[in-house]
Structures are given as structure tokens and as C-alpha cells.
Structure 1
Amino acid sequence: MSVLDFFIGLAGGEPGRVFGYLTSGGTEGNMFAVWVAREQHPDAVLYASAEAHYSLPKLARLLRMPYVAVKTRADGTMDTSALVRELARHPGRAAVVTATIGTTGRGAVDDLPGVRRALAAAGVGRAWVHCDAAFGGLLAEFCDEPIPWNLASGADSVAMSGHKVIGCPVPCGVVLVPESDVVAIREEGVAVGSDDDTITGSRDALAPALLWYELRRLGRRGLADRALQCHRTAAHAERELARLGRNPSRARGGTIVLFDAPPQDFCHRWHLVRDESHAALVVMPHVTERHIDRLCAELATG
């Protein structure tokens, strides 16, 4: 419960009114939240940005929900004007909208208040907004200018990972939903005298202990320092890559720096994700300015 209490507080939830449990990772967290939402709105269409996590279209198929990939803006965030148009194509139906807080490709953070405005503009009264904050929740919370991303900012549910910024050595996560809405999926007393209100039933007991240890070790201040250091390192990378003429870009609140791609062997050596034109430098807590300086020095001589 100590781990859950921490995440409920971090997400701006009200104790006693938020249900949560430790998941195997972001995919399970997304699935649980959307499942609960679908039980509240059986006719719902699931919407997410075209750059949302790959789990979203997959779980839409598993839950037998229509799925709409909404166009993104140039910065990788969901185009809320396009969302209004997509909502209008499904009149009378409920909407479950996933706002991505830190996309996999470039760390973009969807406009959570903008999603709420889009739902109002489209006249959708029956709606649920889920935040997939697996990667970017902590980064959005602890940056120079905090970005809306959580329950306190208008989300109905939130999923986060414990093995990314926090650094738990095994994959894990946390999902948070309203306690009042879990009743729809809860089966009382069926699991050897316990209630069944999760996806997997039996769950790993090691991950909660490891998360508890790391949260006790770092505390909120330590996590904030870790996230801020990631932001500073990403800003340093952006400056140095610009100096080399590599045209870097970084999403607001993100720590993924895109730049003109070097050769494939360079990307392989430096563990950079590469497409046809860009390489992605993902700044996590272990990446330091010294790493950036070494990478840039090699780029400069290559």
C-alpha cells in the first residue's frame, strides 16, 4: 500500500477514492483502465494519437472496441482539432480517449486539457480520458514548467511504469482508476477468499518490494532531481547537436532528442534508434553530459 499511496499522491488522486494495483507494465495498465472504461460505456469508441503506444490498437482488438488513430501535429502531439472531427463521425457513442504522456518515438505529451475541450466541443457527454504516462509521467511532473498529465489535471485513469525513470530492475507499473468504477469488474471472494479486480489475478511480489525500496531511497525530492537532471542533459544534447549542425528537436517536457541520422554503424554503437532520416537519443537517468560530449566529439570527427 505504501507504493500505491505514493503514486496516488503523485497523480493528484484523493486517497480512498482511487483504486490501484501494481501491474506487469504499461500495456497491462492501459488494458485495465480501458477495460474499466468500456464497462462504464459499452458502446465506446477508443481514440488515441497516431503516435500512441502500440498496446492501444492491440487492446482495442482484445476488448472488441472500434479504434481511431487521431492525426498528430508537427510536434508529435495529438491534434485536438482532428479529434473533434473524429468524434463527430461517431455521433451518439461514448468516447474513451487515451492521452499519451511521453510518446515512444519522440516523448511528445498530449494536451490533456485540450482533449477535454475537444470532447466538450464535439458534444460528447459520455467520455473517459485515460493517460498513458508510462514514460513521461514523472518527466511531466518534474520539469521547469510542469505539464498537465494526471488525475488532478482531468484524467479519469493513469498508467505509469516503474522500470523507466524510476529504474526498477524488473518490468512493472501502476494503474489508477476511480474506486467507484472498479465495482463493475470486481468479482468478490472468488480468488481463494479474495476479490478478483485485476487483469492477471496472481501477481509478482518482487516488483512491489523493489519499487518500495527505490521510492524510500529517493523520495519525491530524489525523483524530482532525477527527472530534472534528465531534462538538463537533454537540453545539453540539443545545444551540442545544434552546434554540429545536426538539426536537433525535442518535444516540450520530453527527454528524447531527434537529430539528423548518422550512419547505421554509428547508431548501433551508440544504441540510437534510427529511421530513414533521424536518430533518437533517449536521455534516461544513466545518461550524463559526459556521454553527450563523447557522442558529439565522435560525430564531429566522423
Structure 2
Amino acid sequence: MAREAATHADIPFGPEDTPWQKTFSRLRVVGGRPYGTAPSSDPRTAYLEVPEVPHHKVQLPATGLDEEQYAEAEALFRRHIDTQTRNFAGYQVNSALDYEKRLGHYLNRHLNNVGDPYQSSSYTLNSKVLERAVLDYFASLWHAKWPHDPEDPESYWGYVLTMGSSEGNLYGLWNARDYLSGKPLRAQHREPGRAALGHAPRGDGPHALHPVAFFSEDTHYSLTKAVRALDIDTFHALGSTRYPDDNPLGPGTPWPREVPSTEDGAIDIDRLAVLVRFFASRGYPILVSLNYGSTFKGAYDDVEAVSRTVHDICAEYGLDSRRVHHGDGEDAGHDERSGFWLHVDAALGAGYVPYLEMARDAGLVEQAPPAFDFRLPDVHSLTMSGHKWMGTPWACGVFMTRTGLQMAPPKASEYIGATDTTFAGSRNGFSSLLMWDYLARHSYDDLARLAAECDGLAAYTHERLLALQEQLGDDLWVARSPQSLSIRFRRPRADIVHRYSLASETVHADGTARSYVHLYAMRHLTRQRVDELVGELRQPGAFPPDPPAGTGTAGA
């Protein structure tokens, strides 16, 4: 009785507003009762409504939808997505996609790249042969030693992600945590049936195996999730608990939660150096995650300058190269490894800036951001999202490191016939196919020209918004970080934000909360669409008199 009182079997459900309990076919559980649990409230009022797609039209009754109902529901959703795609301007993803004609065949095929990309598997419905081609392509683009060679610690190792760079960040920090904590490397992994070298790593000093993470206030929120999931101490957490009164950026003041950024959104290297020195001098291993195309401002951390700074500080305190001991007795051993790790979250930049460099060298653009990749010997890992500048129908990406930095994997799975060195286990094999298709159809010359066009569109958008600001005689806070594809400005009226899918973020400047949006000059955006947006922003009432603080998110 209590359960029946808490549910409402007569709630209208589905495209015809049929009471839920009457949406069942003849096949029911014993006793004639509908199988499953009735809704406890009306789902149409429980969820955020999308006006263009009424919720009851897409609800799924036990009978399914007939052909007419399906056609209506799909048409509503298609029209909504097509409209939003045409105006989509606020996020760093590319919607100029062209895969359907060539790859539609594979939608009716199962592709699962479970296990290590470089090991064959008894699970033969995979696209690993294409995955390896994609990984070699990016290894070359990012100046890593390739092809992958399990016997060569300087060669690259990587895999295609099922998620976007959030998975790459999680995997990179996981690898960094275990590396800096002294756990066994993959090269030390014993044959099946025997333990990996050492179960009790030892370092010199009480903090030698206690890594500390540093990342800037412009870092994507996935880093915060990753350090929490992996139980990695940030400098803020450790400083606030063990050294509450010793904040080196201001003794007696609270520790900042993240490393401060410059106005343009890049990590403040001088302040990072002060914080790193505080912990390195106490023997803590250093884990730094950098941004290369930050989420909101599209800013590029100076990876080369940071790597040099962190290396030099760590060298002062013996953390540039150190000995990690394993085991006892006849199992005793050691290895030499660095006491710091630099990870680069290049979700946007790693797929875009190499071509912008080519465009610069060809005279198509004037500047490109500093190097970020394996040209720098102190870069340990990096990640890129395939759905951002390249463009794919769903989130995916690439993670890459050096073979000698890999940690010992779990035991090989006889079930799949390969060691699973990845994070996801079952991995989407379609993503490798999509990236392979895209790269096969675009030359370096093509992509350099596309990069130059995007840079030009970003400059054009910036100029148009500056001109609008001057015309209105009102400070719209228009700004573009160096070489960024993101142009940020004051948050307009809610309907404009929705129509163009503009991402929002509240920024505190001089003690005042400013509500910004940004526009990303991705390949699907056109000057005509920019002009249409600027035209709407020119209209009276386009900007609320008091921009609301705390609305929106930092982006995807």
C-alpha cells in the first residue's frame, strides 16, 4: 500500500498522454500487473524543459513508439539540434562534420578496442590497426619518438580515449601519482605468476613519496575531480592542513585553492615557482598540470618556461633525478626517476597549434604559442580532445606519454588475450575510425590553412566586438588572450545566450563580480554568423543593466 501511495500509475505518459498503467502490451508479469515501477511524479514537471522538444513527445512507453509517433519525435529533435548547430558559438568544439556518407556503414558494426593498442587480442572486432596509425600520426606531430617500441623507453606510448581529455587528465594524473609515489614501472613488471618488483617503495626523506599537485585557477574542473578521485593532495590541501600559517605568497593569509593566473588566463609562473619551491624544499615530489588552450579564455600556459622553472627548482633539492628503492632482501632493487611530473591538458591546443605553427612558418599568420609537446624533455604526458578543433560527433581524444614512464599494469586478461594498460577497459573503436578518416582526408597544408582561417576569424570577431563596444559607449569587457580562439565579453540577455549557446563564467575583478560569456572561433562558425550576433547585441536591451553573477558554467 505504501509503495502504491508513493507512485501514480495514472500519470499521463507518452506522446498520446496515456495513463502510464495503460501503456503496456499484453505481456505482463504474473497477476496482470504492469512490469516495473510507476512514476512517483510527472516526469514532464520534474525535468528541465526544452521548449522545442516537448518531453511527452519523446517519452518511451512500454509499447515503444509507432511509426507516426517516432517520425514526429525524431523530427522535433532533429529540428532543434540543427537549429542549435547552426548558431553554436560558445564552446570549443567543431561542428563542421562530414562522416555520414563514408562511415555510416560502421554504425551497424561493433568496434571495441579493449586492451593495449599495441597488443593483438582475441576480441577481433576492433579498429586497433587504425588506432595505431592515428597514434603514430600524433606522435610525429607532437615530436615524440615513434613508432612505439616496448623495449625503447624513449619511444612514445598512448591510446585513443573513450571520453574526452577529462579521461586523459585522469589517466595522466593517475600515472603521475604512482610514478612519484615510487610504484613499479612497467619495465620492472615481472612475468605472469610472479610479483612486480617491490611492494614497499622507499625514498629519501619523510615526504619523498608524497606527491603534491599544482594547477592554475583557469584549469578545467576535471582536474579538481581527478585529484579528488585519485586522492592526490593539492598544494592548497596540504598547505592548509600542515602549514596553515606559512603560505609563501603571503605569510598568515589563507592558501589559494589554485595557482593564480595572469589577466590573460595563463598560469602565473613567478607565483607557481614560489609555491613549488616551498614544497620541493621539504622533499615533496612535484606534479604540475598545465593548460594549452584553457576552457574559458583559451589561454596557453608557457609550457617551455614552466618546465624550465620547475626543473631548475627541483634540481636544487635533488628532485630532478632520484633513486627509488623497492622491496627487501633478494627482491631489493632501485630505479632512477625524476621527482616531478609535468602533464599538459592540451584538449584544444594540441590538435590546433601544430598547424598554426606551420601557418606561421608559411607566412599565413604572424604568431603561434610557445612549444608544448615532447620537444621539451620535461613534458611527461599530454592529452588532446578529438571533438574540439578536429571535430567528431562525440567526445574522444588521445593520451600520450613515453614508454619508459608507464606504470606496471594489472595482470594480463586471458579473457581478452591482452594486457589492459588503458583506463576505460572497453574502448570505443569508432573514435579511432573517425580520427583516421579525418586525418586521411586532410593534409598538413589543408590543416595549416584551416588553422590560419580560424585565427583570422577570432581576430575578426574581436575587432567587431571592440567596434560595438566603442559604438555603444559602454564597457563590454571585450578581451582576447594571445592567439586564443576564444573572445570573451559581457553577458547579454538570456535569450541571446541560449540562441548562440554562449558559455558563461563569473570573474572577480577588483572585488567586483563580472558575468562574462565567450565565443569560440571554431571551423563551423562564419563571419556572417558573427555579424548576426553582433547585430543582435547592438539592439537596445541586449545587455542587462546589472549582469547576474554566478550564472552558467565554465565551458566544456
TM > 0.5 fold call: yes
Aligned-partner SS, 1:150: coil
RMSD: 1.7
Within the candidate set 489, 497, 500, 1:267 is matched to 497
SS at match of 2:344: strand
Residue 80 (str. 1) matches residue 247 (str. 2): no
> Aligned pair 1:229/2:229, yes or no?
no
Per the alignment, in what secondary structure is the counterpart of residue 424 of structure 2? Answer: coil
Contact 1:139–1:253, Cα closer than 8 Å, also in 2: no
1:70 aligns with 259
CA deviation string 1:8-55 (max 9, x = no partner): 111111103000100121011111112222221112111111111111
Task: Identify the structure with the greater strand proportion.
Answer: 1
Aligned length: 301
Residue matched to 2:89: none
4+ runs deviating over 4 angstroms: none
1:39 to 169, 172, 178: 178
Distance 1:253 1:153, change over 3 A: farther
Aligned in 2, Cα 1:299/1:269: closer, same or farther, shift over 3 Å?
same
- Does structure 2 conserve the Cα–Cα contact (< 8 Å) formed by 1:140 and 1:253? no
Structure 1: which 5+ residue stretches go unaligned? none
Paired residues for 1:196-211 under 5 Å: 196-211=420-435
Q: Return the TM-score normalized by structure 1.
A: 0.94
| Superposed displacement of residue 116, structure 1 | 1.6
- Higher Cα radius of gyration: 2
Cα deviation per residue 1:70-100 (whole Å; 9 max; x = unaligned)?
Answer: 1111111101111112113322111111110
Residue of structure 1 in register with 2:160 after alignment: 22
- 1:41 and 1:277 mapped to 2: Cα distance? 39
TM superposition shift of 1:197: 0.6
1:60 aligns with 2:227: yes
Describe the superposition over 1:193-217 as per-residue Cα deviations: whole angstroms up to 9, x where unpaired. 2112111122111111111111111
Q: Within 5 A, what are the aligned runs for 1:60-139?
A: 60-68=227-235, 69-90=258-279, 91-123=282-314, 124-125=319-320, 126-139=339-352
Q: In structure 2, how many angstroms separate the alpha carbons of the residues matched to 1:153 and 1:288?
A: 36
Q: C-alpha distance in 2, partners of 1:70/1:8?
A: 30
Q: How high is the TM-score relative to the length of structure 2?
A: 0.52
**Unaligned residue ranges in structure 2 (runs of 5+):** 1-131, 149-154, 182-209, 236-257, 321-338, 357-364, 470-475, 506-513, 541-556
Per-residue CA deviation, residues 143-184 of structure 1 (Å, 9 max, x unaligned), is 3323212111342111001111111112100000111121x2
In the TM superposition, what whole-angstrom CA distance separates every residue of 1:114-150 from its partner, at most 9, and x where no partner exists? 2123214533522111110012223332333232121
The structural deviation recorded for 1:250 is 1.0
For the residues of structure 2 that align with 1:92 and 1:213, how far apart are their CA atoms?
Answer: 48
Higher-helix-fraction structure:
1
Opposite residue 238 of structure 1, the aligned amino acid is H
Q: CA deviation at 1:260?
A: 2.6
Q: Which moved more, 1:110-119 or 1:121-130?
A: 121-130
